[in-house]
Chain A
Amino acid sequence: MQVAKKPNTLPDGHPDFSVQPSVVLKQPTLHDITEVISRPIETKATLKWYIAFAFSVALLMVELVGWGISFYYGTGMWGNNVPVAWAFPIVNFVFWIGIGHAGTLISAILFLFRQKWRNGIARFAEAMTIFAVMCAGLFPLFHTGRPFLPLYLMPYPNKHAVWVNFLSPLVWDVFAVSTYFTVSLFFWYTGLIPDFATLRDRTLGKDMVSKIRKTIYSVLSLGWRFSNRHWRHYERVYLILAGLSTPLVLSVHTIVSFDFAVSGLPGWHTTIFPPYFVAGAIFSGFAMVVTMLVFIRYIFDMQHLIPIDTLEKMNKIILLTGTLVGYAYGMEFFIAWYSGNLIEQFTFINRAFGPYAFAYWVMISCNVISPQMFWFRKLRRSVPIMFVISIFVNIGMWFERYVITVTSLARDFLPSSWGWYNPTLVDFMLLLGSFGMFFTLTLLFVKFMPVVSIAEVKSVMDGAQVHHHHEEDPVDTEATIIGGQPA
Chain B
Amino acid sequence: MDLQQKNKPLYWQSLEELNSNPEVLEAKNHEFKKGVTEDFDIREMSGISRRRFLAAMGASAAFTLTACKNYMDKGEIIPYNVQPDDVIVGRPNFYASTVTSRGQAVSALIKTREGRPIKIMGNPDHPIDQGKMRPHVQSLIMSLYDPERVAAPLKGSAGVTWEVVDEAVGSALRSLSQNNKKAAIVTSRLMSPSAKKILDKLSQKYTGLGVFNYSLTQLSPRLSAWKKSYGVAQLPEINWTKADVVLALESDFLGAEGTEAMSLGFSKRRDVMNDKGFSRLYVAEGNLSLTGMNADYRLRLRPDAQYELVLALANALQEQGLALSAALVPQAENHTLSRFASSHGLAESSLKHLVNDLYKNRGKALLYAGDRLPESVHVLVNTLNADLGADALYQRQNAPFYQAQPSAPAELAQLSKDMLAGQYDLVIHWNVNPAYDLAALAYADALAKVPVSVTLDTHLNETGEKSTFVLPIHHDLESWGDFEAYAGVHNLQQPVIAPLHDSRQAEGILLTWLADDSAQYSEKLYHNYLKNNWQDTVYRKTNSLSDFTTFWQGALHDGFVSLKGTKINYGSLNVNALSQVKRPKLEKDYLLSLHYGYATLDGEFANSGWLQEIPHPVSKVVWDNYAAMSVTTAKELGVKTESMVTVTLPGGSGTVTLPVLEQPGMADKVIAVELGYGRSKAGEIGTGVGVDVNALIDLNSDSPFIAKVDVVKAAGSHHLVTTQLHHAFDVPREQDLHTARGITHEANYPEYEKNPESAKMHGHKTFNITSTHVYEGIKWGMAIDMNKCTGCNACVMACNVENNVPIVGPDQVDRGREMHWIRLDRYYSGSAEEPTVTQQMMLCQHCDNAPCEVVCPVNATNHSPDGLNQMAYNRCVGTRYCSNNCPYKVRRFNFFDYRDRFKEAFYHKDMNQLVHNPEVTVRSRGVMEKCTFCIQRIMWARQEAIREKRDLKGSDVVTACQEICPSEAIVFGDSNDPQSSVSQYRKHVTAYHVLEEFNARPAITYVTKLRNTYEKV
Residues of A within 8 A of B (CB): 73-76, 79-86, 143-147, 149-150, 152-153, 160, 162-165, 167-171, 174, 229, 259, 262-265, 342-343, 346, 349-350, 409, 412-420, 422
Contacts and interface: CB of A to CB of B under 8 A. Distances in A.
Interface in B823-877: 823, 825-827, 840, 842, 851, 854-859, 862, 872, 875-877
Interface stretch (B101-109, B480-488, B887-895, B1002-1010): B887-895
A170 B857 contact: yes
Given A81-B816, A413-B741, A418-B725, A144 B879 contact: yes
Contacts of A80: 880, 895
Nearest to B854: A167
Given A84-B816, A168-B855, 9 more contacts: A74-B896, A82-B889, A146-B925, A160-B875, A167-B854, A170-B879, A414-B994, A417-B889, A419-B816
A415 B926 contact: no
Interface string B207-242: 000000000000000000000000000000000000
A168 B895 contact: no
Interface of B: 32, 724-725, 733-734, 737-738, 740-741, 743, 812, 815-817, 823, 825-827, 840, 842, 851, 854-859, 862, 872, 875-881, 883-885, 887-889, 891-897, 901, 924-928, 994-995, 998
5 contacts: A74-B895, A163-B859, A168-B855, A343-B741, A416-B840
A81 B892 CA distance: 9
Contacts of A171: 857
B855 A263 contact: yes
A79 B814 CA distance: 11
A357 B858 CA distance: 35
Contacts of B895: 74-76, 80-81, 145
A145 B856 contact: no
Given A76-B895, A165-B854, A83 B859 contact: no
Given A152-B875, A417-B888, A82 B816 contact: yes
Among the interface residues A76, A150, A168, which one has the most CB atoms of the partner chain B within 10 A?
A: A76
Contacts of A422: 815
A146 B995 CA distance: 32
A443 to B, nearest CB: 33
A412 B889 CA distance: 9
Contact of A349 (B733, B738, B858, B925): B733
A346 B741 CA distance: 11
A85 B893 CA distance: 9
Contact of B855 (A163, A170, A229): A170
B894 A145 contact: yes
A152 B879 CA distance: 11
A-B residue pairs, 4 tightest by C-beta: A145-B878, A145-B926, A76-B895, A81-B816
Given A145-B893, A160-B875, A412-B887, A153 B857 contact: yes
A168 B887 contact: no
A169 B882 CA distance: 11
Nearest to A158: B875
Given A145-B894, A149-B877, A170-B855, A414 B888 contact: yes
Contacts of A73: 896
Given A75-B926, A76-B817, A164-B859, A82 B875 contact: no
B875 A162 contact: yes
Given A170-B855, A264-B998, A83 B928 contact: no
B889 A264 contact: no
A149 B877 CA distance: 6
B896 A420 contact: no
Contact of B859 (A144, A165, A263, A350): A165
A145 B840 CA distance: 30
Contacts of B743: 413-415
A409 B884 contact: yes
Contacts of B881: 85-86, 168-170, 259, 263
B851 A74 contact: no
B884 A265 contact: yes
A167 to B, nearest CB: 5
Contacts of A263: 851, 855, 881, 884-885
Nearest to B885: A263
Among the interface residues A79, A150, A160, which one has the most CB atoms of the partner chain B within 10 A?
A: A160
Given A152-B877, A413-B741, A416-B840, A145 B857 contact: no
A325 B859 CA distance: 35
Contacts of B827: 415-416
Contact of A83 (B741, B840, B889): B889
A123 to B, nearest CB: 28
B873 to A, nearest CB: 10
A143 B878 CA distance: 8
Contacts of A86: 880-881, 884
A436 B397 CA distance: 78
Given A81-B895, A165-B859, A415 B738 contact: yes
Nearest to A417: B889
Contacts of A259: 881
A82 B857 contact: no
Nearest to A345: B733
Given A76-B817, A414-B842, A144 B826 contact: no
A145 B887 contact: no
Contacts of A150: 877
B992 to A, nearest CB: 15
A384 B664 CA distance: 56
A144 B926 contact: yes
A343 B997 CA distance: 11
Among the interface residues A83, A85, A86, A412, which one has the most CB atoms of the partner chain B within 10 A?
A: A85
A145 B877 contact: yes
Among the interface residues A79, A165, A265, which one has the most CB atoms of the partner chain B within 10 A?
A: A165
A420 B719 CA distance: 15
Contacts of B862: 165
A164 B858 CA distance: 5
A483 B50 CA distance: 58
A145 B876 contact: yes
Contacts of B901: 76
A169 B854 CA distance: 9
Contacts of B928: 145
A86 B880 CA distance: 7
Nearest to A76: B895
Nearest to B826: A416
A434 to B, nearest CB: 19
A81 B817 contact: yes
A205 B686 CA distance: 75
Contact of A144 (B738, B741, B877): B877
Nearest to A264: B851
Given A82-B889, A145-B926, A413 B998 contact: yes
Contacts of B741: 342-343, 413
A262 B816 contact: no
Nearest to B862: A165
Contacts of B887: 264-265, 412-414
A201 B823 CA distance: 72
Contacts of A349: 733
Contact of A165 (B857, B892, B926): B857
Contacts of B851: 263-264
A81 B897 CA distance: 15
A81 B740 CA distance: 26
A85 B815 contact: no
Contacts of B856: 165, 168
Contacts of B858: 152-153, 164-165
A253 B461 CA distance: 62
Contacts of A81: 815-817, 895
Given A76-B817, A152-B858, A168-B855, A85 B825 contact: no
